[in-house]
C-alpha cells in the first residue's frame, strides 16, 4: 500500500471475505469519550491546580470543529484533599451524551481557607472559556456543579465575584455560567445537626472548622453565616437557575440542609428545583441513573437557551 498521509475517506477498506469471520457494521456515531488528564489551569502561590477534562468523541466528530456545552464539576472532599478521579467513570456517562466535563482540583482547606475553593473554580471556568476551541466547548453554554463540598463550592463560585481582584488569573474573561448543579451539597453550616456524622461539629478540626482556618465555629457564629449559602440569598441576588439533588438518608449532610437552601431560594424568587432521592445516602450510583441524567440533561438544555444575566 502506498505510504502517504491518508484521510479517513481516502483510506481503502479491507473488504476481502474471509471464511469463518463475522463482520459487524459500524456507523461512526458510536458514542465514546476522551480524557485529557492533569491539565494545569492555575498555579496559586506555587500550588499547581489541574483539571480532568472529558470530551465526547465519535469517529465522525474526532477531527471536527463540533462544540458542546461544558459542565465545570467540582469534586467534593469535605474541603480536604480531593480524590480528583472519584467520579470520572460516572461523569463519562454524561460526557457521552454530548457534554464536555472539566473536573476541578481546588486548594484544599489544609492549604487555603474559604473562599479559595470558589475562587479556584472561577479560574477553572475562565480557563475552559479561553481554551474552548481546544476542548470543543461552546462558551455560551457553560455550567458549574459539584457534589458535597463541591456543591457548596459551585454555588459560591457564582455568589462571590473577584473579577477586579488579583485572584482572577484571566482578566477580561468572566466566570458567569448558565446554571448550577448541586449533588447533596454541603451548602450550609447553620444547622447544628447539618452534618451529624461530624462528631465534633463546628470545632476547629471538623471539616467546616478547617475550612474556616481551624476555627471553633461555636464561638464565631458570624463565620457560620459566612460559610452558608442561604445567608447570601436575597431578592436582588443574581443567580442562574439551580438544580439540586439530596438523599433522604444522607448520613453526612442532613437533607434539611438542602431543603433550607431550596426554600430560601424559592422565597427570594429564584429559579430552583430540588429532587429528594428516597433512601439515598451521601452519594452513590443512585445519583447517576439514566433517570437522573435525563433530569440533568433537560435542565442543561433548557438553561443554555434561556438564561441571560
Output the average pLDDT for the chain: 94
Nearest to 124 by CA among 58, 82, 168: 168
pLDDT at residue number 198: 63
pLDDT average, residue stretch 211-215: 95
Please state the length of the chain.
309
pLDDT at residue number 64: 87
Residue 63: pLDDT band with limits 50, 70, 90: confident
How far apart CA 178 and CA 2 sit, in angstroms, is 50
**Cβ neighbours of 293 (radius 10 Å):** 16
Specify the pairing of strand 180-183 against strand 272-277.
unpaired
How far apart CA 257 and CA 213 sit, in angstroms, is 22
pLDDT at residue number 200: 73
Nearest to 287 by CA among 152, 207, 181, 149: 181
Cβ pair 104, 124 in contact under 8 A: yes
Rounded percentage of the chain residues whose pLDDT exceeds 90:
89
HSE-up (13 A, CA, CB side) for residue 48: 5
pLDDT at residue number 206: 92
What does the CA dihedral 13, 19, 20, 24 come to, rounded to 10 degrees? 20
Per-residue pLDDT of 147-193, as tens digits, reads 999 999 999 999 999 999 999 999 999 999 999 999 999 999 998 77
Nearest to 202 by CA among 222, 224, 180, 235: 224
Residue 308 has pLDDT above 60, yes or no: no
How far apart CA 195 and CA 258 sit, in angstroms, is 12
How far apart CA 288 and CA 204 sit, in angstroms, is 34
Spatial CB neighbours of 159, under 8 Å, sequence gap ≥ 6: 118, 229, 232, 237, 239
User: pTM of this prediction?
Assistant: 0.94
Residue 66: pLDDT band with limits 50, 70, 90: very high
Residue 2: pLDDT band with limits 50, 70, 90: confident
Asked, as a colleague might, if the bond just before 115 is cis with ω within 30 of 0, I would say yes
Residue 304 has pLDDT above 70, yes or no: no
Residue 276: pLDDT band with limits 50, 70, 90: very high
Q: Which residue has the cell 470530551?
A: 55
Rounded percentage of the chain residues whose pLDDT exceeds 70:
96
Residue 3: pLDDT band with limits 50, 70, 90: confident
Residue 62: pLDDT band with limits 50, 70, 90: confident
Per-residue pLDDT of 109-160, as tens digits, reads 999 999 999 999 999 999 999 999 999 999 999 999 999 999 999 999 999 9
pLDDT average, residue stretch 30-39: 97
pLDDT at residue number 305: 58
**Exposed/middle/buried for residue 8 (C-beta within 10 Å: 0-12, 13-18, 19+):** exposed
Amino acid at each position: 500500500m502506498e505510504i502517504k498521509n491518508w484521510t479517513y475517506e481516502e483510506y481503502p477498506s479491507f473488504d476481502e471475505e474471509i471464511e469463518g469471520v463475522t463482520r459487524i457494521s459500524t456507523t461512526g456515531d458510536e458514542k465514546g469519550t476522551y480524557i485529557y488528564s492533569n491539565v494545569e489551569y492555575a498555579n496559586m502561590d506555587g500550588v499547581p491546580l489541574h483539571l480532568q477534562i472529558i470530551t465526547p468523541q465519535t469517529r465522525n466528530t474526532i477531527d471536527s470543529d463540533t462544540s458542546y456545552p461544558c459542565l465545570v464539576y467540582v469534586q467534593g472532599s469535605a474541603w480536604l484533599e480531593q480524590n480528583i478521579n472519584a467520579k470520572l467513570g460516572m461523569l463519562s456517562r454524561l460526557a457521552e451524551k454530548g457534554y464536555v466535563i472539566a473536573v476541578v482540583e481546588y486548594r484544599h482547606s489544609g492549604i487555603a481557607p474559604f473562599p479559595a475553593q470558589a475562587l479556584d473554580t472561577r479560574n477553572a471556568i475562565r480557563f475552559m472559556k479561553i481554551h474552548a476551541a481546544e476542548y470543543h466547548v461552546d462558551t455560551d453554554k457553560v455550567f458549574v456543579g459539584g457534589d458535597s463540598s463541591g456543591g457548596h463550592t459551585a454555588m459560591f463560585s457564582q455568589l462571590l465575584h473577584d473579577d477586579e481582584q488579583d485572584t482572577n488569573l484571566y482578566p477580561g474573561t468572566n466566570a458567569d455560567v448558565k446554571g448550577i448543579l448541586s449533588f447533596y451539597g454541603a451548602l450550609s453550616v447553620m444547622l447544628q445537626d447539618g452534618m451529624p456524622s461530624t462528631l465534633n461539629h463546628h470545632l476547629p478540626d471538623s471539616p467546616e472548622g478547617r475550612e474556616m482556618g481551624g476555627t471553633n465555629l461555636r464561638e464565631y457564629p458570624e463565620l457560620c453565616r459566612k460559610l452558608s449559602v442561604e445567608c447570601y440569598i436575597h431578592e436582588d441576588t443574581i443567580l442562574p437557575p439551580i438544580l439540586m439533588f439530596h438523599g433522604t438518608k444522607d448520613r453526612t449532610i442532613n437533607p434539611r440542609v438542602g431543603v433550607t437552601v431550596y426554600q430560601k431560594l424559592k422565597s427570594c424568587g429564584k429559579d430552583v428545583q430540588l429532587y429528594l432521592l428516597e433512601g439515598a445516602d451521601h452519594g452513590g450510583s443512585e445519583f447517576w441513573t439514566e433517570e437522573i441524567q435525563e433530569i440533568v440533561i433537560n435542565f442543561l438544555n433548557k438553561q443554555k437557551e434561556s438564561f441571560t444575566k
